Structure 1
């Protein structure tokens, strides 16, 4: 009886051990399957890899676009450079290219005159410097220029466009030693022969001790053309 019980106990223990080992093995396989399952079935790594490839392609395209744009920008001419190039290539205006006229600025007393040079040719031309004016036969020297009136950029006139120059005739004083002028000559620097310009109204009263001229500009400017 004692031996039977011992055998029964040993068989039961052995069965329990075998069952435990089987369960442990099954549990290990299930755990391994669970651990491997998400890694095998989870689409996230593939999607992440796809995004990385797209980002790489986008980066390459962006670099190519920047390189292309940079080369185009480097080869392009800036507006300032283009304007300078056009100014340098435009021929100097001659008296055949422009019509010069004169008008009083204000008054009376008429102390200042405005010269207008209008491009009457069919092409652009460049006005250089200031008008070389001779008012009197007794004073053959040109009317002196005012340095502050000189513009920062060249004056290039397209067909039909005007440029202006302010001229001081006198200070308007009663006791000034002025002389009458009904016509005078204007020479364009580098532009050939002088042009004869008729004085406005009944004529000008000029004072050789006070006269002065500004440079050719696109428009009269406060400060630069105040003299």
Structure 2
């Protein structure tokens, strides 16, 4: 009986020891998991905050740089473009006091549609300001290769001129004159093959004269030149008022 009791006590003690060890192991795992969990979450949060912070700063820096460039660019470009487009004076009063310069003009000469003897002289203002021209262009007709142009033919122009001190031309508009090389359609001279045009004979030097080739079949007789006008039709009417000598 005593032997059995001793064995029971030993087994009970052993069982108790085993249970104690098991509980200790469980408590250790549980404590380890709890301490590791918050540490892992904290590290993840810190890493996330650290990664997001530079991205936010970079975005802020980028935004600041973009805003500055946009403001600077818009200011400079807007001012430059604005002064170019709207900086000029387009009034007639300004044109009366400022004769056109040859560098601000583009001159064209071409046959008038529907006429065999008339040509259009178109003077375009390509400058930024209005400018003033003489009442009509200075025109002579001659031979391109002639060494002496004293015999060149000059057209008749309207008389009795007066009024404004100049013909005003606004930027990007044209002053138009029409010349009829042979108003009566008679047998004219055939040696003339060039038209010489000075846009403003009152203020420009002869060196600013431009030369335009005429066709080989041109016959010139008592040519007539009108005043500068804003349309071809008005220029034709003005040309008809020129008195031939």
TM-score in terms of structure 1 length: 0.50
Return the structure number with greater relative CO, CA threshold 8 A, min gap 6. Answer: 1
The answer to which structure has the higher helix fraction is 2
